[in-house]
Chain A
Amino acid sequence: GAGVSQSPSNKVTEKGKDVELRCDPISGHTALYWYRQSLGQGLEFLIYFQGNSAPDKSGLPSDRFSAERTGGSVSTLTIQRTQQEDSAVYLCASSLSPGQGAYEQYFGPGTRLTVT
């Protein structure tokens, strides 16, 4: 079956521009996560969505970052007024809910963002 997909796979933008990154989770997965990974670094949690509950935004590094999840499926991560330090790979993952037993997070291939 289809896995988690993300688009675009690569994005180069100029400093100060806004960007939108998209994530299509696995059908039926109610939990969706965004992470970012800078070169040679670990995963940094950004935001978590679970069903219709309020998202956990505790990992967003600044108010330039926001995310939405429409209809409990597709999610968009928006970065406004991009800065060079925003350059990283942005990874999306989805999983079943705790009540459904399984936990494994399935990751998309990521969007490589480069801010020039």
Chain B
Amino acid sequence: RKEVEQDPGPFNVPEGATVAFNCTYSNSASQSFFWYRQDCRKEPKLLMSVYSSGNEDGRFTAQLNRASQYISLLIRDSKLSDSATYLCVVKSGGYQKVTFGTGTKLQVIP
């Protein structure tokens, strides 16, 4: 089983739709979780951290479910500019080695 798994998509959604992605992780001792965004042929950039209590940043909501070992990202009112690949990142252990998921591709269509 991969350490971090994501549905590769693509998710094709119309503008204004709500879309959600899940990411599962295998190491129950994982400590920190993040969502990164990667535009086509660009480097990844941090979108948001994922906190145990869940957190929201504008149209984006991240949730952590430790019991089922997954994190989720919800995007409301999708914009064309949200089209990108969303990478799930999990940090385990006492230092900063992290594992990136392979990403979920989102395409918002007009």
Give A residues with C-beta under 8 Å from B.
31, 33, 35, 41-43, 45, 48, 50, 56, 91, 95, 97-98, 103-105, 107-110
Considering residues A31, A42, A97, which has the most beta carbons from chain B within 10 angstroms of its beta carbon?
A42
Chain B residues contacting A97 (CB-CB under 8 Å) are 96
Judging by beta carbons under 8 Å apart, are A42 and B91 in contact? no
Instruction: Give residues 91-110 of B contacting A (CB, 8 Å).
Output: 91, 94-103
Q: How far is the CA of A50 from the CA of B93 in the complex (A)?
A: 14
Tally chain B residues at the interface, Cβ within 8 Å.
20
B54 within 8 Å of A by Cβ? Answer: no
B73 within 8 Å of A by Cβ? Answer: no
Q: How far is the CA of A110 from the CA of B45 in the complex (A)?
A: 13
Judging by beta carbons under 8 Å apart, are A56 and B97 in contact? yes
Known A105-B46, A107-B43, A108-B43; judge A42-B96 contact (CB<8 A): no
Judging by beta carbons under 8 Å apart, are B87 and A43 in contact? yes
Judging by beta carbons under 8 Å apart, are A104 and B43 in contact? no
Judging by beta carbons under 8 Å apart, are B91 and A103 in contact? yes
Q: How far is the CA of A41 from the CA of B98 in the complex (A)?
A: 17
Known A42-B87, A42-B101; judge A103-B96 contact (CB<8 A): yes
